[in-house]
Amino acid sequence: MITFLRRRIVSSAIPLVFVVLGVFVLARLTGDPVNLYLPLSATEEQRAEFAAAHGFDQSILAQLWDYLGQVVRLDFGESLRTGQPAGEMVLTAFPATLQLAAVTMLIAIVGAVLIGSLAAYRPNSLADRVASFLSMTAASIPDFWFAIMGVLVFGVSLDLLPTSGVDGGAEVWVLPIATLLIRPFGVLVQVVRGAMVGALSAPYVKVARSKGASEKRVVFGHALRNATMPALTVAGDLTIGLVNGAVVVETIFGWPGIGKLMIDSILQRDFAVLQAAVLLTAVTIFVLNIVIDICYALIDARVRQPVAA
Amino acid sequence: MSATALSVEGLRVDLHTPGGVLRAVDDVSFAVRKGRTLALLGESGCGKSLTAQSIVGLLDPIAEVTGGAVHIGGTDVLTLDHAGRRELAGPVLSIVFQDALTALNPVQPVGRQLAEPFRIHKGLSRRAAKAEAVELMARVGIPEPKARYRAYPHQFSGGMRQRLLIAMAVALGPDVLLADEPTTALDVTVQAQIMRLLSDLQSERDMAVVLITHDLALVAEQADDVAVMYAGNVVETGPVREVFDHPRHPYTKGLLDSVPEHAVKGAALPAVPGSPPELSAIPSGCVFQARCPLATARCADERPRLEPSGDGRATACHFTEELSRA
């Protein structure tokens, strides 16, 4: 298990290095911050002074070297917009995104396992066809459209729910979660259903029934654990998608998470914050991948143990 | 003569396919006595596995029992509801499947799967069920059963997996054990070991065994009686020795003639010409007519019924008389 983990960590760390480099290069391709921050009327001296103050006057390699040194020390510099430390801004915004993602995935996984299993238990039954149709629809609805329709119907016409912000009780969560939930939920129901149909027709399920196992035992004791692997792969991917910004939802609902922070920093050429945000997201994905690998190994012994005769 | 443990009478199984309803098992009857072995012998697709699955109530959704009765201990198990069948599954009636790799749950330790019958039917605690399972593993010849209790199916060889599967099936000492090609996936030496284990367990527990196979040699070695199946029908039944020495059905005769031991050295191996009919094209008369050297017009019109001949044998052929004299 330890060897398994060490191998997984090393192999996932390599892409992380590329992310660190890629962020630096791509951020500089978006335009010159000096032109953006200073008025058109700024003199050459003012421009040079601004560039010197933020290190933009140095060669790209020198800037990269500084950047890497800072990354190693977990110092991401200061925000061009607010003057606050970038790392601090990112860490302040991050929990809002994590909460949103965690609640969403929890609902999606529990719901999908129940509905997917129910649908798979009797393939082509009415319950199966309803579940398949609805989940297909859910998986196909564009989230930005759903979000705007939600705001229009429940926020404006019916005036039941707040349209943005985090101040208030449970009702502020409803629209953002519903928007984030709809696609992962639809996709997961389909995946769980497919995997469960396969698992329930496997010989070991027949064997379990031949031992007199109850249907509950057959479905949840034998089949579900075998169906978990494909569902876990997709769930992990969807979670990464959610953590990776929830950019649209956070922008529409004014949710102060990392997605909104990223969009704002891109629009403002706020390199320091952008780099910190992307890097934090990358680290989160790195950690998530390892967590998913650990889950695989816990669920299926074949992943962690060599085959022996 | 010991009591009949299992009797199947006029069993019919239909398959619901997109192309229509197909009769895969037609009017199959046989009986097995306590402590004895009956071999259900036939080619792939002849309906022998469907027969076994109907008896244990584990047919796939496309298959349906549409007629007949299966008596075990005075009850027609086909009339039982789901809960009633579950009570029998394990303590009374049990099955060993062919492919032990897919028949064991890959993500559960084997010990837990072996302990399951004790947990379900005897309500034993985890610890007590584990003790029973370890004992069972030792009985079927798993080395170091205590240590191997927590191992997973992929960590066992094919033969060991089949031993585990057999252990699971005999855990509660069933009255009737069905073995669906239990050694097909194994090499010959392992096959012999497994069959010996099965025989030992059978005499220990006085089980009636239905051995489903296509292997003539296995039938000759293991079974007391044989029921030869062809295209969903039983064409001949009787004690193995008599049926094999003096077959009374042209299909049985053809099968036995094709065994290499009986062939003349240097000559081409005799074979039954042609292949079994598709389920969608089973003729209305005798199912074997197309491949039968004796077929006449009567065979095309009238399906011969399985007629007992009074000496413990039965044959479904219009020419039984002629064949018995030969």
Task: Say if the Cβ atoms of B89 and A217 lie within 8 Å.
Answer: no
Average pLDDT, integer, range A128-154: 89
Dist. CA A273–CA A287, nearest whole Å = 21
Backbone angles phi, psi at A240, to 5 degrees: -60, -40
Residue B157 touches partner A, C-beta closer than 8 Å: yes
* Residues of chain A contacting B121 with CB distance shorter than 8 Å: 212
Among all residues of chain B, which has the CA nearest to that of A305? B155
B99 in A contact zone (CB under 8 Å): yes
Smallest Cα distance from A235 to chain B, Å: 20
Q: Which residues of B25-56 are buried (b: 16+ CB within 10 A; e: fewer)?
A: bbbbbbbbbebbbbbbbbeebbbbbbbbbbbb
Residues of A whose CB is below 8 A from B162:
none
Q: Do the bridges between strand B37-41 and strand B208-213 make them parallel or antiparallel, or are there none, so unpaired?
A: parallel
d(CA B253, CA B236): 11
Grade residue A49 by pLDDT with cuts at 50, 70 and 90.
confident
Residues in chain B: 326
**CB pair distance less than 8 Å for B154 and A300:** no
Contact B166, B197 (CB under 8 A): yes
Q: A210, B56: Cβ pair inside 8 Å?
A: yes
Q: Where does A253-270 have alpha helices with state H?
A: 258-267
CB spacing of A212 vs B89 below 8 angstroms: yes
Position B7 confidence tier, pLDDT thresholds 50, 70, 90: very high
B120 closest CB neighbour out of A213, A299, A308 = A213
Question: Using the beta-carbon criterion (under 8 Å), do A203 and B88 form an inter-chain contact?
Answer: no
Percent of chain A with pLDDT over 70: 95
Which CATH architecture describes the domain A96-267? Orthogonal Bundle (1.10)
Q: Does B106 touch chain A (CB under 8 A)?
A: yes
Q: Does B105 touch chain A (CB under 8 A)?
A: yes
Q: What is the mean pLDDT of residues B94-102?
A: 88
Beta carbons of A301 and B152 less than 8 Å apart? yes
Instruction: List CB contacts (< 8 A) between B104 and chain A.
Output: 204, 207
Q: Which of A26-35, A190-199, A223-232, B234-243 has the lowest mean pLDDT?
A: A26-35
Angle at B41 between CA B40 and CA B47, to 5 degrees: 75
Average pLDDT, chain A: 84
Distance CA B223, CA B36 (A): 8
Least confident among A60-74, A223-237, B212-226: A60-74
Chain B hits for A204, CB-CB cut-off 8 Å, are: 102-106
| Encoded tokens for B75 | 């009850």
Place of tokens 């922070």: A261
Q: Using the beta-carbon criterion (under 8 Å), do B106 and A213 form an inter-chain contact?
A: no
pLDDT at position A31, please? Answer: 67
- CB of B242 less than 8 A from some CB of A: no
Partners of A232 on chain B (C-beta within 8 Å) are none
State the residue for tokens 């209305």: B284
Phi-psi region of B45 (alpha: psi -120 to 50; beta: other; left: phi over 0): left
User: Which neighbouring-strand residues pair with B94?
Assistant: B177
Residue of A nearest to B86 (CA): A212
How far is CA A204 from its chain centroid? 35
CB contact residues (below 8 A), chain B span 257-316, against chain A: none
Q: Is B188 on the interface with A (CB under 8 A)?
A: no
pLDDT at A306 over 60: no
- Which chain B residues are Cβ-neighbours of A225 within 8 angstroms? 107-108
Q: Between chains, do A305 and B152 touch, taking CB under 8 Å as contact?
A: yes
Summarize pLDDT for B44-76 with one digit per residue, the tens. Answer: 889 999 999 999 999 988 999 999 999 998 899
**Residue B24 φ then ψ, to 5°:** -95, -30
Q: What pairs with residue B23 in β-bridges?
A: B14
Highest-scoring range by mean pLDDT, A10-19, A46-55, B32-41: B32-41
Q: Do B155 and A211 touch (CB under 8 A)?
A: no
- Distance in angstroms (rounded) separating the CA atoms of residues A307 and B110: 15
Diameter over CA atoms, chain B? 67
- The pLDDT value given to residue A45: 83
Whether the predicted pLDDT of A8 surpasses 60: yes
Whether residue B255 is predicted with pLDDT greater than 50 in this model: the reply is yes
